[in-house]
Amino acid sequence: MKLSDGPIGLFDSGVGGLTVARALARRLPNERLLYFGDTAHLPYGEKSPEAIRSYALGISRHLIDQGAKAIVVACNSASAVALDVLKEELDIPVYNVIDPVVEYLHRHRAKRIGIWGTRATVASGIYPRKLAEVLPSADVQPMATPLLVPVIEENLLSGAVTDAVVSLYLNDDRMEHVEHLVLACTHYPLISSQIAKQLEKKVSLLRIPTIVA
């Protein structure tokens, strides 16, 4: 098989990365996609950086063995802590879901930015660090929102439980002056309508799959 004939490989810790896969399928209808959802180790956001790197490298090598010509790290936690290792170890292109978001915010000259992500993503400091390079005067408020992934993986995409968890995070003091809210986990778009209905109209809700694709 020629490299150009292979599928694009994507992976995440569960179903969240499918939001990116669907967006890519719409954008690149002639490409084949190969998806790996690592439900055995979900959620990545609660794992150590070393563990996430190990999972990411093992899955990427598996996807390459299946003929993948490129890897899309369809997971913020893995993009945050494993990207450098993947680029160093793999001989095919590797893409992440963080840089396109930073570029989007830079292009729109965002000033007050909220980041909802897993503990691993927030602890890495990658969003504030990258945004400081292109938007040094921006007010960036990262928030770990660890209850959201379990809710989504349990298929509680609407209802009282989801609304209560979303409300808990939206009422955090760090959200008070936010103008752009980044859903910095590929699971979160699955409940974006539940978030949007509680969000103040002045706040722009940024969904990673739409931006990446």
Which helix (H) or strand (E) segment holds residue 57: the answer is helix 49-65
Is 185 tagged catalytic?
yes
**Integer Cα distance of 155 and 87 in angstroms:** 33
User: Sign of the CA dihedral 43, 165, 124, 11?
Assistant: positive
Residues 6+ away with beta carbon under 8 Å from 43:
13, 14, 77, 118, 146, 149, 150, 153
SS3 category, 108 = coil
Total Cβ atoms within 10 A of residue 83: 20
Residue 52's nearest CA partner among 76, 16, 21 is 76
**Integer Cα distance of 199 and 181 in angstroms:** 9
Contact status, residue 73 vs residue 92, Cβ threshold 8 Å: no
Identified catalytic residue from 75, 102, 152, 166? 75
Is 177 tagged catalytic?
no
Identified catalytic residue from 73, 131, 138, 185? 185
**Integer Cα distance of 119 and 117 in angstroms:** 7
Any idea which residues carry the catalytic annotation?
75, 185
